[in-house]
Chain A
Amino acid sequence: MNRHLISAGDLTKDDALLILDTAEELARVSERSIKKLPTLRGRTVVNLFFEDSTRTRISFEAAAKRLSADVINFSAKGSSVSKGESLKDTALTLEAMGADAVVIRHGSSGAPHRLATWVRGSVVNAGDGTHEHPTQALLDAFSMRRRLGGLDGRRITIVGDVLHSRVARSNVLLLATLGADVTLVAPPTLLPVSVGSWPCEVSYDLDAALPKSDAVMMLRVQKERMNAAYFPSEREYSRRYGLDRDRFAKMPDEAIVMHPGPMNRGMEIAAEVADSPRSTIVEQVANGVTIRMAVLYLLLGGETVA
């Protein structure tokens, strides 16, 4: 594996399977009454969050702590960063503190690439702008594999604001690597003009895609997109691209519903669908800790899983 995890596209099939298999082993540990492993004792993991994301930060924090790493949370708000310190100076500060891994969430696409040129430790991308969110894709793949038994040849439909979604980008790359057949469904305004070059199918018609899906992943729609005329109204979006009860009924009986959270209930997904037994939404959160444990464990060179 690379020293960093910045893009899901950097993972080979073997890398990805190693992470998923390691996560399976770690999941068994999580079922014990004492969840903590000594593996990363004495190592320092910095959570460097330039965007508010409590969910992702506590997921990484829990993962690092379960591996006994020391965790430093560095949030941009109220720190030197909000006083105009550059990303480079922040990186050099962390470097001087001896960070073994830096988990970075940043609003600017590519910030983790830049960070990786300034620090010696491993850089883990916890979401950069509208680029990627590779641990989200890994936890999604992990969740799907557990429910569907495997990913090779499985039909995964990703619905929503692909243009601005780092979750979609990472998922398309990772799922293609793992042999799944991905279809993106969105209004044309929310797809990149170059989406034809991506390793997936593209459709504007959710109703046509649903019966052919083993998993349907709904993406969060940001309210501000509406003001920028990507679609006429929330109601129209919901009518054409929302997963409501009627559409849910068109999916194959075993097909699952996913959402990376946080959800807009009633917008892209109906409450009944989100709460149905075929929804993996809560599992995804739990699996997030497990997959991040696996990533930190493998990047920081843990020896064996106890």
Chain B
Amino acid sequence: MIIKNVRVLGGEPVDIRVEDGLIAEIGPGLSGGEVVDGRGAIALPGLVDLHTHLREPGREDAETVLTGTQSAARGGYTAVHAMANTSPVADTAGVVEQVWRLGREHGHCDVQPVGAVTVGLEGVRLAELGAMADSAARVRVFSDDGKCVSDAVLMRRALEYVKAFDGVVAQHAQEPRLTEGAQMNEGVVSGRLGLTGWPAVAEEAIIARDCLLAAHVGSRLHVCHVSTAGSVEIIRWAKSKGWNVTAEVTPHHLLLTDDLVEDSPVGAYNPIYKVNPPLRTRADVEALRDALADGTIDVVATDHAPHPVEDKETEWSAAAMGMIGLETALSVVQEAMVDTGLLDWAGVAERMSAAPARIGRLPGHGLALEAGAPANITLYDPSVRTPVDPSGYASKSRNTPYEGMTLPGRVVATFLRGRPTVLEGKLT
């Protein structure tokens, strides 16, 4: 198969010849066999999400491995890390293997399960991390995401223990006592709206502690969904020490701010903007963009969090936290990072494909588009601008905060080991 007329990382137009799931040749004027016309689209290595909630098992009303991976493919992803906060929790080899197998059967993108750090996400004792690492799912990323591993001793032990199999602990940094009943970012808007605040310090204090712990035991720490300017400063400092700390930011924290809770086209207190960690201020957004640009933050991860309509069509405090994001991630990154001049397409490839694959120790993903690499390829047309309309999404859920906003770009095609999962923007 030849993928004609694409611009690798936004460069000069070339053709890509794919054979046996691998990139065989890249260059101008290739011919022979089946042809896919790229029409000048940008070619990126297939995107890798380090933070996806697929909801299966347990909340199949919100998402399944099937619909979640279809959503991922439509967003240009060839691999996703499925978070462990399912029901039952992915805290045993059995559950992670089930999720991994479902991903393989459906085949829309690779599903790499994340294992829980503690049994039942309860923060009391370690889950059988080694068994999950040794399972068919070969888990390398461990996270209690949704909850913080707040016990300092337990966090230390987890960081130490996963060194045995080159694992990483991905921390949801949220000091629980400082965020009891928290509803939104603590600041000017929360004060006016009378909503219990989620202070930046509750994130920053945990990140600072965990960086110190990771340094002390010489392990790898990954910080999930960094949301504040202060967190950026702490991570920058930890990296300057040479410590093995990586971090991710979500698309929504790169674009949206907490004032939307008070004033937006969809009305005040609309829980479509309720997410954890919460949307922060403009100053935080600017700091996160700069940090992603300069590499302090390594990765854009979606934190795709599907919820059924009834869990969002409620009063604010009763609503579920989270936003879907797989099918808008690349557009939001273009809007926030590329069109602002902060990042080029090589930078996007690093942060949305190479770095997450490296942190997740995911073989065959995130590799540069060159001869011999697996043909995991995303074709993206950055030239269009369209209003976001979730009605056609593959995700089962519709809780996108971007509905009605106009965003740039469109995923044209996604190839998983040479096999198209999306063509002309549609699932194959």
Chain A interfacial positions (CB closer than 8 Å to B) = 86-88, 106-111, 113-114, 116-117, 128-132, 164, 166, 169, 192-195, 197-198
Partner of A88 from the list B193, B314, B316 (CB cut-off 8 Å) is B314
Pair B194/A131 contact, Cβ less than 8 Å: yes
- Out of B186, B191, B270, name the residue touching A195 (CB < 8 Å): B191
* Distance, CA A217 to CA B268, complexed state (A): 29
**A113 B317 Cβ-Cβ under 8 A:** no
CB distance from B401 to the nearest CB of A (A): 16
Distance between B60 CB and nearest chain A CB, rounded to angstroms: 21
Q: Contact: B316 with A194, CB < 8 Å?
A: no
Once the chains bind, are A111 and B191 in contact (CB under 8 Å)?
no
Is B267 interfacial (CB-CB < 8 Å)? yes
Which residues in B have their C-beta under 8 angstroms from that of A88?
A: 313-314
Give CA–CA (A205, B82) in the complex, Å. Answer: 53
- Give 14 CB contacts A-B under 8 Å: A86-B313, A87-B318, A107-B317, A110-B269, A129-B195, A129-B317, A130-B196, A132-B194, A169-B194, A192-B190, A193-B186, A194-B191, A194-B192, A197-B191
Chain B residue at minimal CB-CB distance from A88:
B313
Q: How far is the CA of A107 from the CA of B310 in the complex (A)?
A: 19
Q: What are the interface flags for B178-199 relative to A under an 8 Å C-beta threshold, 1 for contact and 0 otherwise?
A: 0000010011111111111101
Q: A117 and B267 in contact (CB under 8 A), knowing A108-B316, A109-B316, A110-B315?
A: yes
If A129-B317, A193-B187, A194-B187 touch, whether A110 touches B310 (CB-CB below 8 Å) is no
B194 and A129 within 8 A (CB): yes
CA distance A139 to B267 in the complex (A): 27
Partner of A113, one of B188, B196, B268, B310: B268
A129 and B316 alpha carbons, distance in the complex (Å): 11
Shortest B266–chain A CB gap in Å is 8
Contact mask for chain B residues 298-323; partner A; CB cutoff 8 A; 1 contact, 0 none: 00000000000010011111100000
Known contacts A110-B315, A114-B270, A198-B191; 18 additional CB pairs below 8 A are A86-B310, A86-B313, A87-B315, A88-B313, A107-B317, A109-B195, A109-B317, A110-B316, A111-B269, A111-B316, A114-B314, A116-B267, A117-B267, A128-B194, A129-B317, A130-B195, A169-B192, A193-B191
A223 to B1 CA separation, bound complex (whole angstroms): 73
**Out of A87, A106, A117, A194, which one reaches B190, CB within 8 Å?**
A194
| B residues less than 8 Å from A114 (CB atoms) | 267, 269-270, 314-316
Shortest CB–CB separation between residue B94 and chain A, in angstroms? 33
With both chains docked as a complex, state the minimum distance between the C-beta of A6 and any C-beta of chain B, in angstroms.
Answer: 8
**Are B269 and A109 interface neighbours, CB within 8 A?**
yes
A260 CB, min distance to chain B CBs, angstroms: 16
The total of chain B residues at the interface (CB under 8 A) is: 25
A109 shortest CB reach to chain B, Å:
4
Partner of B267, one of A113, A128, A130, A194: A113
Contact B314 A166 (CB under 8 A): no
Chain A residues in 8 Å Cβ range of B197: 192-193
Least distance between B319 CB and chain A CB atoms (Å): 9
* B interface SS class: loop
Within 8 A of A (CB), among B240-285: 267-270
How many A-B contacts at CB < 8 Å in the complex? 76
B190 and A108 within 8 A (CB): no
Q: Which 9 A-B pairs have the closest CB atoms?
A: A110-B269, A131-B194, A192-B191, A130-B194, A194-B191, A108-B315, A108-B317, A109-B194, A111-B315
A57 CB, nearest partner CB in chain B, Å: 19
Residues of B near A117 (CB, < 8 A) are: 267
What's the least CB distance linking B350 to chain A, in Å?
37
Q: How far is the CA of A166 from the CA of B314 in the complex (A)?
A: 21
What's the Cα separation between A88 and B318 when bound, in Å? Answer: 12
Give CA–CA (A132, B269) in the complex, Å: 13
**Complex contacts, A86 vs chain B, CB 8 Å:** 310, 313-314
Contacts of B267 in A (CB 8 A): 113-114, 116-117
* A114, A132, A169, A195 — most chain B CB neighbours (10 Å): A114
- In the assembled complex, how far is the CB of residue A139 from the closest CB belonging to chain B, in whole angstroms? 19
Cβ contacts under 8 Å, B192 to chain A: 169, 194, 198
Central interface residue in A110, A116, A128, A129, by most chain B CB within 10 Å: A110
Q: How far is the CA of A130 from the CA of B190 in the complex (A)?
A: 10
Q: Point out the residues of chain B lying under 8 angstroms from A113, CB to CB.
A: 267-269
Beta-carbon nearest neighbor of A87 in chain B: B315
Residues on B with beta carbons closer than 8 Å to the beta carbon of A164: 194
Which chain B residues border A195 with CB–CB below 8 Å? 191
Residues of A with C-beta under 8 A to B199: 193
A236 to B270, CA, bound (A): 40
A101 CA / B25 CA spacing, docked (Å)? 70
Closest residue on chain A to residue B309 by CB atoms: A88
Query: Are A110 and B195 in contact, CB atoms less than 8 angstroms apart?
Result: yes
In the bound complex, what is the Cα–Cα distance between A217 and B98 (angstroms)?
62
Alpha-carbon separation in the docked complex, A107 to B318 (Å): 11
Which residues of B144-193 have CB atoms within 8 Å of chain A's CB atoms?
A: 183, 186-193
Least Cβ distance of B177 to chain A in Å?
11
Residues of B within 8 A of A192 (CB): 190-191, 197
Residue among B193, B194, B310, B316 with max Cβ neighbours from chain A (10 Å): B194
Give Cα A218–Cα B195 distance, bound, in whole angstroms. 22
- Chain A residue at minimum C-beta to C-beta distance from B186: A193
CA distance A198 to B194 in the complex (A): 13
